[in-house]
Amino acid sequence: MAEDMEKLIEILRDSKKIVFFGGAGVSTESGIPDFRSANGLWSEKLNMELTPEQLVSHTYFERFPKEFFDFYRDKLVYPDAKPNGCHKALAKLEEMGKLLAIVTQNIDGLHQAAGSKTVYELHGSVLRNYCMKCHAFYDAGYVMEAAPEPPRCEACGDMVKPDVVLYEEPLDGDVMQNAADAISRADMLIIGGTSLVVYPAAGFIRYFHGKHLVVINKTETRADRSAELVLRTPIGETMAAAVAAL
Protein backbone atom coordinates (compact mmCIF):
# COMPACT_ATOMS: atom_id res chain seq x y z
CA MET A 1 0.00 0.00 0.00
CA ALA A 2 2.88 2.34 0.74
CA GLU A 3 4.17 1.74 -2.78
CA ASP A 4 0.77 2.68 -4.24
CA MET A 5 0.73 5.93 -2.24
CA GLU A 6 4.24 6.80 -3.39
CA LYS A 7 3.17 6.12 -6.96
CA LEU A 8 0.11 8.38 -6.59
CA ILE A 9 2.26 11.18 -5.17
CA GLU A 10 4.74 10.75 -8.01
CA ILE A 11 1.99 10.98 -10.62
CA LEU A 12 0.48 14.06 -8.96
CA ARG A 13 3.89 15.74 -9.01
CA ASP A 14 4.33 14.90 -12.68
CA SER A 15 0.91 16.23 -13.71
CA LYS A 16 0.02 19.82 -14.51
CA LYS A 17 -3.52 19.49 -15.86
CA ILE A 18 -5.47 17.21 -13.56
CA VAL A 19 -9.20 16.50 -13.80
CA PHE A 20 -11.07 14.66 -11.06
CA PHE A 21 -14.16 12.65 -12.01
CA GLY A 22 -16.13 11.69 -8.90
CA GLY A 23 -19.25 9.95 -7.72
CA ALA A 24 -21.20 9.15 -4.56
CA GLY A 25 -18.21 7.52 -2.86
CA VAL A 26 -16.53 10.91 -2.57
CA SER A 27 -19.19 12.13 -0.15
CA THR A 28 -19.78 9.00 1.94
CA GLU A 29 -16.93 10.06 4.25
CA SER A 30 -18.96 13.23 4.85
CA GLY A 31 -21.89 11.14 6.03
CA ILE A 32 -23.90 11.21 2.80
CA PRO A 33 -24.98 7.69 1.80
CA ASP A 34 -25.66 6.53 -1.74
CA PHE A 35 -29.40 7.08 -2.23
CA ARG A 36 -29.69 3.59 -3.77
CA SER A 37 -29.43 2.25 -0.23
CA ALA A 38 -32.96 3.53 0.47
CA ASN A 39 -35.33 1.00 1.97
CA GLY A 40 -38.81 0.11 0.78
CA LEU A 41 -40.70 2.64 2.91
CA TRP A 42 -41.82 4.74 -0.03
CA SER A 43 -42.90 1.66 -1.99
CA GLU A 44 -45.04 0.61 0.97
CA LYS A 45 -46.67 4.04 1.25
CA LEU A 46 -47.93 3.85 -2.34
CA ASN A 47 -48.46 0.08 -2.38
CA MET A 48 -46.12 -0.03 -5.37
CA GLU A 49 -42.77 -1.70 -5.99
CA LEU A 50 -40.42 1.18 -6.66
CA THR A 51 -36.67 1.32 -7.13
CA PRO A 52 -34.70 4.27 -5.75
CA GLU A 53 -34.17 5.36 -9.36
CA GLN A 54 -37.92 5.49 -9.92
CA LEU A 55 -38.34 7.53 -6.75
CA VAL A 56 -36.14 10.26 -8.25
CA SER A 57 -37.61 10.12 -11.75
CA HIS A 58 -39.38 12.93 -13.58
CA THR A 59 -42.53 10.78 -13.80
CA TYR A 60 -42.62 10.22 -10.03
CA PHE A 61 -42.01 13.94 -9.39
CA GLU A 62 -44.99 14.86 -11.55
CA ARG A 63 -47.38 12.12 -10.37
CA PHE A 64 -46.54 12.04 -6.66
CA PRO A 65 -44.94 15.39 -5.73
CA LYS A 66 -45.54 15.05 -1.98
CA GLU A 67 -44.02 11.56 -1.84
CA PHE A 68 -41.17 12.71 -4.09
CA PHE A 69 -40.27 15.51 -1.68
CA ASP A 70 -40.60 13.19 1.31
CA PHE A 71 -37.95 10.95 -0.23
CA TYR A 72 -35.87 13.85 -1.57
CA ARG A 73 -35.64 15.66 1.77
CA ASP A 74 -34.84 12.48 3.68
CA LYS A 75 -32.36 10.83 1.32
CA LEU A 76 -30.82 13.51 -0.90
CA VAL A 77 -30.41 16.67 1.18
CA TYR A 78 -27.82 16.75 3.98
CA PRO A 79 -27.51 20.37 5.15
CA ASP A 80 -25.11 19.53 7.98
CA ALA A 81 -22.60 17.62 5.83
CA LYS A 82 -19.07 19.07 5.68
CA PRO A 83 -16.28 18.66 3.11
CA ASN A 84 -13.96 15.75 3.83
CA GLY A 85 -10.29 15.17 3.03
CA CYS A 86 -10.92 14.53 -0.65
CA HIS A 87 -12.91 17.74 -1.19
CA LYS A 88 -10.25 19.77 0.62
CA ALA A 89 -7.35 18.10 -1.19
CA LEU A 90 -8.89 18.87 -4.59
CA ALA A 91 -9.41 22.50 -3.61
CA LYS A 92 -5.73 22.61 -2.65
CA LEU A 93 -4.68 21.11 -5.99
CA GLU A 94 -6.68 23.80 -7.78
CA GLU A 95 -5.07 26.48 -5.60
CA MET A 96 -1.66 25.06 -6.57
CA GLY A 97 -2.55 25.44 -10.25
CA LYS A 98 -2.47 21.71 -10.93
CA LEU A 99 -6.21 20.93 -11.13
CA LEU A 100 -8.16 21.98 -14.23
CA ALA A 101 -11.61 20.95 -13.07
CA ILE A 102 -13.79 18.65 -11.04
CA VAL A 103 -16.49 16.71 -12.86
CA THR A 104 -18.94 15.34 -10.32
CA GLN A 105 -22.07 13.22 -10.31
CA ASN A 106 -22.83 14.46 -6.79
CA ILE A 107 -25.47 17.06 -6.00
CA ASP A 108 -24.37 18.12 -2.51
CA GLY A 109 -22.22 21.18 -3.29
CA LEU A 110 -19.38 20.01 -1.01
CA HIS A 111 -16.66 20.65 -3.58
CA GLN A 112 -17.60 24.34 -3.67
CA ALA A 113 -17.92 24.39 0.12
CA ALA A 114 -14.30 23.20 0.29
CA GLY A 115 -13.21 26.07 -1.94
CA SER A 116 -13.11 24.56 -5.43
CA LYS A 117 -13.98 27.01 -8.18
CA THR A 118 -14.24 24.99 -11.40
CA VAL A 119 -16.81 22.29 -10.71
CA TYR A 120 -19.02 20.76 -13.38
CA GLU A 121 -22.07 19.23 -11.69
CA LEU A 122 -23.44 16.70 -14.16
CA HIS A 123 -26.54 16.00 -12.09
CA GLY A 124 -27.16 19.50 -10.73
CA SER A 125 -27.28 20.62 -7.11
CA VAL A 126 -29.69 20.53 -4.17
CA LEU A 127 -28.48 24.04 -3.32
CA ARG A 128 -30.33 25.51 -6.30
CA ASN A 129 -34.11 25.38 -6.70
CA TYR A 130 -36.32 27.21 -9.18
CA CYS A 131 -40.01 27.91 -9.66
CA MET A 132 -41.21 25.89 -12.64
CA LYS A 133 -43.27 28.83 -13.91
CA CYS A 134 -41.49 32.12 -13.16
CA HIS A 135 -38.03 30.63 -12.46
CA ALA A 136 -37.59 32.46 -9.15
CA PHE A 137 -34.61 31.09 -7.20
CA TYR A 138 -34.89 29.36 -3.82
CA ASP A 139 -32.16 27.85 -1.65
CA ALA A 140 -32.14 24.40 -0.07
CA GLY A 141 -33.39 25.78 3.23
CA TYR A 142 -36.61 26.98 1.62
CA VAL A 143 -37.33 23.53 0.23
CA MET A 144 -36.65 21.87 3.57
CA GLU A 145 -38.75 24.36 5.56
CA ALA A 146 -41.78 23.76 3.34
CA ALA A 147 -42.07 20.20 4.67
CA PRO A 148 -44.22 18.20 4.70
CA GLU A 149 -45.73 19.85 1.63
CA PRO A 150 -44.06 20.34 -1.77
CA PRO A 151 -42.42 23.80 -1.93
CA ARG A 152 -44.41 26.52 -3.66
CA CYS A 153 -43.19 29.77 -5.19
CA GLU A 154 -43.91 32.83 -3.06
CA ALA A 155 -44.31 34.95 -6.20
CA CYS A 156 -46.66 32.87 -8.36
CA GLY A 157 -47.61 29.82 -6.32
CA ASP A 158 -46.27 27.25 -8.76
CA MET A 159 -44.16 24.26 -7.78
CA VAL A 160 -40.50 24.79 -6.92
CA LYS A 161 -38.25 22.11 -8.45
CA PRO A 162 -34.74 21.26 -7.32
CA ASP A 163 -32.06 21.98 -9.93
CA VAL A 164 -31.26 18.27 -9.94
CA VAL A 165 -31.29 16.08 -13.04
CA LEU A 166 -33.91 13.44 -12.39
CA TYR A 167 -34.05 10.09 -14.13
CA GLU A 168 -35.74 10.52 -17.55
CA GLU A 169 -34.31 14.05 -17.83
CA PRO A 170 -31.33 15.02 -20.04
CA LEU A 171 -28.08 16.38 -18.67
CA ASP A 172 -27.39 20.09 -19.19
CA GLY A 173 -25.73 20.58 -22.57
CA ASP A 174 -23.33 23.32 -21.48
CA VAL A 175 -22.19 21.37 -18.42
CA MET A 176 -21.63 18.28 -20.57
CA GLN A 177 -19.56 20.23 -23.08
CA ASN A 178 -17.43 21.90 -20.44
CA ALA A 179 -16.81 18.57 -18.69
CA ALA A 180 -15.84 16.84 -21.92
CA ASP A 181 -13.50 19.70 -22.88
CA ALA A 182 -11.75 19.61 -19.50
CA ILE A 183 -11.27 15.84 -19.59
CA SER A 184 -9.93 15.99 -23.15
CA ARG A 185 -7.28 18.54 -22.09
CA ALA A 186 -6.17 16.68 -18.97
CA ASP A 187 -2.79 14.99 -18.58
CA MET A 188 -4.10 13.14 -15.51
CA LEU A 189 -7.61 11.85 -14.82
CA ILE A 190 -8.50 10.67 -11.32
CA ILE A 191 -11.67 8.58 -11.14
CA GLY A 192 -12.84 8.48 -7.54
CA GLY A 193 -15.80 7.16 -5.59
CA THR A 194 -17.68 5.80 -8.58
CA SER A 195 -18.02 2.37 -10.15
CA LEU A 196 -18.92 3.98 -13.50
CA VAL A 197 -22.30 2.32 -13.90
CA VAL A 198 -24.50 5.42 -14.24
CA TYR A 199 -24.79 6.66 -17.81
CA PRO A 200 -24.45 9.00 -19.59
CA ALA A 201 -22.16 10.45 -16.91
CA ALA A 202 -19.84 7.44 -16.84
CA GLY A 203 -19.25 7.77 -20.59
CA PHE A 204 -17.28 10.98 -20.10
CA ILE A 205 -14.06 9.13 -19.40
CA ARG A 206 -13.82 8.24 -23.09
CA TYR A 207 -12.71 11.82 -23.72
CA PHE A 208 -9.49 11.24 -21.77
CA HIS A 209 -6.38 10.72 -23.87
CA GLY A 210 -3.78 11.95 -21.38
CA LYS A 211 -0.81 10.32 -19.71
CA HIS A 212 -2.02 9.16 -16.29
CA LEU A 213 -5.29 7.40 -15.40
CA VAL A 214 -5.79 6.69 -11.69
CA VAL A 215 -8.76 4.97 -10.04
CA ILE A 216 -9.50 5.34 -6.32
CA ASN A 217 -12.58 3.29 -5.49
CA LYS A 218 -13.44 0.60 -2.96
CA THR A 219 -14.96 -1.71 -5.59
CA GLU A 220 -14.10 -2.69 -9.15
CA THR A 221 -14.76 -0.17 -11.93
CA ARG A 222 -14.94 -0.34 -15.69
CA ALA A 223 -11.77 1.74 -15.91
CA ASP A 224 -9.55 -0.53 -13.78
CA ARG A 225 -7.99 -2.37 -16.72
CA SER A 226 -6.96 0.87 -18.41
CA ALA A 227 -5.65 2.54 -15.26
CA GLU A 228 -2.00 3.07 -14.45
CA LEU A 229 -2.83 2.86 -10.76
CA VAL A 230 -5.83 1.44 -8.86
CA LEU A 231 -6.32 2.04 -5.13
CA ARG A 232 -9.04 0.46 -2.99
CA THR A 233 -8.46 2.83 -0.08
CA PRO A 234 -10.81 5.45 1.48
CA ILE A 235 -10.70 8.34 -0.95
CA GLY A 236 -10.76 11.13 1.64
CA GLU A 237 -7.78 9.78 3.53
CA THR A 238 -5.93 8.88 0.34
CA MET A 239 -6.28 12.23 -1.40
CA ALA A 240 -5.57 14.21 1.77
CA ALA A 241 -2.34 12.28 2.43
CA ALA A 242 -1.16 12.43 -1.18
CA VAL A 243 -1.71 16.16 -1.63
CA ALA A 244 -0.16 16.92 1.76
CA ALA A 245 3.02 15.18 0.56
CA LEU A 246 3.41 17.38 -2.54
Active site (catalytic) residues? 123
Q: Are residues 189 and 222 in the same domain?
A: yes
Q: Are residues 111 and 200 in the same domain?
A: yes
Per-residue pLDDT averaged across 77-98, rounded?
Answer: 97
Q: Are residues 224 and 173 in the same domain?
A: yes
What is the pLDDT, as a whole number, of residue 42? 46
Q: Are residues 155 and 220 in the same domain?
A: no
More confident residue, 44 or 185: 185
Q: Are residues 54 and 26 in the same domain?
A: no
* pLDDT at residue 126 greater than cutoff 70: yes
Pair 90, 240: CB distance under 8 Å = no
Q: Are residues 28 and 40 in the same domain?
A: no
* pLDDT at residue 52 greater than cutoff 70: yes
Encode pLDDT of 138-170 as tens digits. 999 999 999 999 999 999 999 999 999 999 999
Q: Are residues 181 and 205 in the same domain?
A: yes
Q: What residue numbers bound the domain in which 158 lies?
A: 128-164
Q: Are residues 193 and 207 in the same domain?
A: yes
Q: Are residues 201 and 238 in the same domain?
A: yes
How long is the chain? 246
How many whole angstroms separate alpha carbon 211 and alpha carbon 207?
13
Encode pLDDT of 201-232 as tens digits. 778 999 999 999 999 999 999 999 999 999 99
Number of structural domains the chain divides into: 3
Which of 47-56, 67-76, 144-153 is modeled with the greatest confidence? 144-153
More confident residue, 36 or 93: 93
Q: Are residues 101 and 191 in the same domain?
A: yes
CATH code for the domain in which residue 223 is found: 3.40.50.1220
Q: Are residues 104 and 197 in the same domain?
A: yes
* pLDDT at residue 190 greater than cutoff 80: yes
